[in-house]
Chain A
Amino acid sequence: MFNSSGVALELEGFRQRYSQSPHWILNGLDFKIKSGECVALVGPSGCGKSTLAKAILQLLPQGSPSEGGLFISGQDPRQLSQAKLRKLRGKSVGLIFQDPMTRLNPLMTVGGHLLDLLQAHNPTTTYSSRKKQAEELLERVGIHKKRFLAYPHEFSGGMRQRLGIALALALNPELVIADEPTTSLDMDVANKVMAELCSQCKEIGSALLLISHDLAMAGKWCERMAILNNGKIVEEGQSRQLLINPKSKTGKTLVNAARAREGEKTPKKSQSKTVLEVNCLRSWHPLGGMLWGAPQWVKAVNNVSFQLREGEALGVVGLSGCGKSTLCKALTGLTPIRGGEVKLENQQLLTLQSKQCQKARQSLQMVFQDPLASLNPRMTIGEAISDPLLIHKIANQKKAHEKSLELLEKVGLSPASHYQKCFPRELSGGQLQRVAIARALTLNPKVLICDESVSMLDAESQAEILVLLRNLQENLGLAILFITHDLSVATGFCHKIIVLNNGHIVEEGPGIELFNQPKASITRKLIESCPRLPQENL
């Protein structure tokens, strides 16, 4: 049933732009995928990866100009009639999207989505045969057919993406395009979803084009890889070779950034005085249904103890839902603490009056995961940074203004007077995270809590932010509590790591030791699910 040429997708000098702008998003692409091949397309953000997926299926706004050759199984979709194009979509090419939630019709059942698709392409079949086929498809991607009548919102992210895979592969297409299929998923789930996707593609013999920003993941699942930058393929080759020895400039930057954040060795740290001591900390949330019977509790953080020294970075690692975020919130006072003690610079936080406590808490500040969301969109960068001083009435407007300039220079945003007047949406993710760090430093804290502070940034910005944090730590003697789901990042950055599971500490020690000899099963799981770049000596 596949075409004889054996080429699933072929691009020759392909150019694509949107009708409103003269700038070509894709500018002379030469690229080929053979039948049954698994190819990754990687590149920095904004390089045109996602535009390509839509351009192939002609999903861009009507009248978007394109030039050059584009052939799917030997056919040019731009030349096809509406009816034939409709057949091509779904039958020859399956598309898997980034965010499975918004991509499903909220009013249609899971089974309904499959039936709808089968009916659209095989209108002559009977309902019962279609239903049987739909159930088989669900079972194939690991969804029980009992859930045929469930609605998308009742599914977890991983399950939704499995349904996405079933929909894309339902008609055995020759080519499957997966556009960042796991970005919105948890590491562990992402791993399983990718495994499912690859094995399904192998089974039916489809070619897979995986679009991703994650080099390690792309390398793990695809044998061939192409790097896209400024709308052109800048490098192409075997994944392993490319990741060990990149030739192009973009390739080198991307690989170096990815390696830098994996951080091969754990830094060493000499002894210093303790600034934060946490003993048997408990933070429980009450569960609903308190009216009847004894209250039930979600023990989000249970009996957690650790010490943090001046100039030290302590990593807290775990899967999502392990209690990492609750720990942050408990320490910053955003969630009530139910027991234990927190000693900050020899002051017992839990016994202090609220006024004094607020003052003591000034030396403990937090940097959040999503830098854009953590800044008020209606405040300029300068206002955001100086706001803590005004909240605590430490400085007047003029002094606060000067302080914000000084801090912006400190986090490497210069000229500071330019950035000060910007609004958050005008800056990039990496720049915003610098702003967030500057804001956290305004009150001269001793302890900085970084809650997944680099996980939303691309590899390059991640590496830069980590370097910035390290420099600040050395210059100011900051103690950093570094919370992340990514064991490899923590290993490279932190002096010591604790692994959390179900609110407990299950293992602790220097990162490199955890990596080489994991004891707890959860640690092993973390290591397995986190794809790493191939090593030269292996």
Chain B
Amino acid sequence: MEISSRMARWGAYIVAFYLLIALVTPIFVAIGILPQANEGLGNPIYDPPSFAHWCGTDRLGRDVCVRTLEGSGVALQVVFLAVTLAVLIGVPIGIISGYIGGSLDRFLVLIMDTLYTIPVLLLSVVLAFLLGRGIPNAAVALCVVYIPQYFRVVRNQTAQVKAELFVEAARSLGAGPLWIMRKYLLGNVITSIPVLLTLNAADAVLVLGGLGFLGLGLKESVPEWGSDLNMALSAVPTGIWWTAVYPGLAMFLLVLGLSFLGEGLEELMSNSKLISNK
């Protein structure tokens, strides 16, 4: 109980910090406090961290620090877009499938189960491969990957709640399917969504990074942690660590924050459920 609330709080701080960076960095770049992310011609390449470049420069002489900072905005944009889309599509389909049941349900479950068995990274690789590069493209590729997860959770929960007495009571009052789904099922089913949403957001940051690392996802010029790490990989055997350490660290902390938030929320919720049941 105590650990989980502490974790949720830490997680919230970390995520808030990243949001702040995502908002502030473009302003700093615009007013010239920080250099442009793609400007590297005037700088020495593979320059170790120094006062001029706090985190050093990369293969093209670009400032690692700015790229890492701007990466948070990029990652948050893509992930937010992807997860929101997945919720908006997955939740309604899940409720309808779970409530109506029958052959429609079985058909949808089969499709979603099939999608679900394909490893997340593999599926997004295929999708990103065909959707091409760009923020909306990457978001769509990620969203398709997460729809089955929401579908499964919501559908199973709907099927469970559907059997509850209060749904039967509503039917005996004369409520139609739409009314029941909207007023009786939705509220009871979406309780597990916030947790899944934060955990998926964490996962999505990793997958986006993975795509970038494989040379897919966003355009080359966009400062994205995964693709920057891929670029850093070739320099690893020569011992150049700064191009690899900072983008990865940024990614790790964001995922950690989101996971803390999700885990903490999950336990807080299951605890409050226990208390209300008593």
A residues lining the B interface (CB < 8 Å): 332-334, 358, 361-362, 365-366, 368-370, 373-379, 387-388, 391-392, 425, 436, 439, 443
Determine the chain B residues whose CB is within 8 A of the CB of A369 once the complex forms: 165
Determine the chain A residues whose CB is within 8 A of the CB of B179 once the complex forms: 391
**Residue interface bits B173-189, CB-to-A below 8 A is 1, else 0:** 11110010001100110
A365 and B170 alpha carbons, distance in the complex (Å): 11
The reply to whether B172 and A387 contact each other, CB–CB distance below 8 Å, is no
A212 and B170 alpha carbons, distance in the complex (Å): 34
Give the contacting residue for B169; candidates A333, A368, A425, A443; CB below 8 A: A368
A362 and B175 alpha carbons, distance in the complex (Å): 11
Count of chain B residues near A, Cβ 8 A: 18
What is the interface of chain B mostly: helix, strand, loop, or mixed? helix
Give the contacting residue for A373; candidates B166, B171, B172; CB below 8 A: B166
A439 and B276 alpha carbons, distance in the complex (Å): 23
Q: List 26 A-B contacts (CB under 8 A).
A: A332-B172, A333-B171, A333-B172, A334-B171, A358-B174, A361-B174, A365-B172, A368-B165, A368-B168, A368-B169, A373-B164, A374-B169, A376-B166, A376-B183, A377-B166, A378-B188, A379-B183, A379-B184, A387-B183, A388-B174, A391-B170, A391-B173, A391-B174, A391-B175, A425-B276, A439-B173
The minimal Cβ–Cβ distance linking B190 to chain A, given in whole angstroms, is 10
A366 and B171 alpha carbons, distance in the complex (Å): 11
The minimal Cβ–Cβ distance linking A397 to chain B, given in whole angstroms, is 13
The reply to whether A365 and B183 contact each other, CB–CB distance below 8 Å, is no
The reply to whether B188 and A370 contact each other, CB–CB distance below 8 Å, is no
Q: Look across to chain B and name the residue whose beta carbon is closest to the beta carbon of A425.
A: B276
A296 and B164 alpha carbons, distance in the complex (Å): 28
Give the contacting residue for A376; candidates B171, B172, B174, B187; CB below 8 A: B187
Interface core residue of A361, A369, A377, A436 (most chain B CB under 10 Å)? A377
The reply to whether B170 and A376 contact each other, CB–CB distance below 8 Å, is yes
The reply to whether B174 and A370 contact each other, CB–CB distance below 8 Å, is no
Determine the chain A residues whose CB is within 8 A of the CB of B171 once the complex forms: 333-334
B residues lining the A interface (CB < 8 Å): 164-166, 168-176, 179, 183-184, 187-188, 276
Determine the chain B residues whose CB is within 8 A of the CB of A378 once the complex forms: 187-188
The reply to whether A375 and B188 contact each other, CB–CB distance below 8 Å, is no
Determine the chain B residues whose CB is within 8 A of the CB of A379 once the complex forms: 183-184, 187
Give the contacting residue for A375; candidates B169, B172, B174, B175; CB below 8 A: B169
Determine the chain B residues whose CB is within 8 A of the CB of A387 once the complex forms: 170, 173, 175, 183
Determine the chain A residues whose CB is within 8 A of the CB of B188 once the complex forms: 376-378
Given contacts A373-B164, A379-B184, 8 further A-B contacts (CB under 8 A): A334-B168, A376-B184, A377-B166, A377-B188, A378-B187, A387-B173, A388-B173, A391-B173
The reply to whether A375 and B173 contact each other, CB–CB distance below 8 Å, is no
The reply to whether B175 and A366 contact each other, CB–CB distance below 8 Å, is no
The minimal Cβ–Cβ distance linking A383 to chain B, given in whole angstroms, is 9
Interface core residue of A366, A378, A379, A388 (most chain B CB under 10 Å)? A378
Q: Look across to chain A and name the residue whose beta carbon is closest to the beta carbon of B184.
A: A376
Determine the chain A residues whose CB is within 8 A of the CB of B166 once the complex forms: 373-377
Determine the chain B residues whose CB is within 8 A of the CB of A388 once the complex forms: 173-174
The minimal Cβ–Cβ distance linking A442 to chain B, given in whole angstroms, is 8
Determine the chain A residues whose CB is within 8 A of the CB of B184 once the complex forms: 376, 379
A443 and B172 alpha carbons, distance in the complex (Å): 12
A154 and B60 alpha carbons, distance in the complex (Å): 70
The reply to whether B174 and A334 contact each other, CB–CB distance below 8 Å, is no
